[in-house]
Amino acid sequence: MKKVGIILLSILLLVMFWKFDISSFIISVKHVSPLAFIALLFLQVISQLLVNYQWCRIGKIMGGRHDFFKMLYVNARGMIIECVTPGVKIGGEVTRALLLKNELNYTGQEAATLVTIQKMVSFSSFFLINLFAFVHISGKVQLLETIVVKVMVYFFLMAFIGILVLIFTCTSWLEKRIINRVPKHKWTSTLQGYMITLLFNIELLKNIKGELYKQFFLSLTIWILFPIKMILLVHLFTTNYEPIFLTEVTFISYMVGMIPLLPGGIGSFEATMTSLLIVMGIQLNEALAITVLFRFITFWFVIIISLLYTGIWKVGERKRLNLQK
């Protein structure tokens, strides 16, 4: 199935670049003024800082260290690894868990729990938005109207949303069920300990009045900033667009980019976004320009500033060690 996906993606990309006109592409890119581009980069920085704030906030509730700048270092290192691992960011999250343990003195289970809770809160709003986006956009795009695609997407989204709702609403019941089970193997004992730690900390989150809603709203704010950047970017090219459709294009592209085909979702994200922009009536070269610029703002720029921040942090760390000697 993965090989079929890569083949189809390769064909789509080849067709797109076969019709690609570099001179028209450059002219299209020039639609974006340096000041407007800097403003979009600034919005992306705000997004990254909000994500880091969410990590710190959850870490504080768990009783762990929540140093904002050190957590920013952890997230920067995780982001660098994400760019070389396929789709769903597993490599980046493993890196974050290891750094939480080594840099912020979390236990292995606590580190894994913080990573899991942050992903659960983030994905709860992401998948919910995608569900509404797909319901609306599938009636406008011929490929998404096919019954097989609809069944697969709806099953995937509903399954994830259902699991998250179950965990957040039946936390105590799940915790009791897991505690009462007697593990028969070492790995099941480790898994049981992790699940108990996870559910205990989710219960802590729920016991703080309104905290779960605040976390969901924070995640929603972070995700909504992405289509806002997309709308502002498209507005620099044309005023003939539907904000709702652009919002749906952004989220559907991110969802497809999570399919583990290529590192960082590269290719699948670009092909999906460009194709949907063409469906919207935007010319190929302008659609490619919008996609490339948007991808740079939300992905490559983040990698660059993560590398810079990591380098600065390492230099500062060496200086601190030298002063202690």
Each of the 325 residues of the chain gets a pLDDT tens digit; together they read: 444 444 444 545 554 555 555 666 577 677 788 899 999 999 999 999 999 999 999 999 988 777 899 999 999 998 888 776 655 556 678 889 999 998 888 988 899 999 999 999 999 999 999 998 888 887 777 666 677 778 888 898 999 999 999 999 999 999 999 988 888 888 888 888 889 999 999 999 999 988 999 999 999 999 999 999 999 999 988 888 889 999 999 998 888 877 755 555 566 788 888 888 888 888 888 888 899 899 999 988 999 999 999 999 988 888 777 776 6
User: What is the rounded CA–CA span in Å between residue 210 and residue 218?
Assistant: 12
CA 232 to chain centre: 20
**How many residues are recorded in the chain?**
325
pLDDT of residue 21: 56
User: What is the rounded CA–CA span in Å between residue 248 and residue 227?
Assistant: 8
User: What is the rounded CA–CA span in Å between residue 73 and residue 84?
Assistant: 18
Give the contacts of 294 (CB within 8 A, at least 6 positions apart): 229, 230, 233, 273
Contact call for residues 130 and 258 (beta carbons, < 8 A): no
pLDDT of residue 47: 95
User: What is the rounded CA–CA span in Å between residue 206 and residue 168?
Assistant: 8
- Total Cβ atoms within 10 A of residue 170: 12
DSSP, res 261 = T
pLDDT of residue 5: 43
pTM for this one? 0.85
DSSP, res 86 = B
131-140 long-range contacts, CB within 8 A, separation 24+: 131/157, 131/158, 131/161, 133/247, 133/248, 133/251, 133/252, 134/248, 134/252, 136/244, 136/248, 137/245, 137/248, 137/249, 137/252, 137/276, 140/245, 140/279
For residue 46, how many C-alpha atoms fall within 13 Å in the half-sphere facing its CB?
Answer: 15
First-to-last C-alpha distance (Å) of the chain: 56
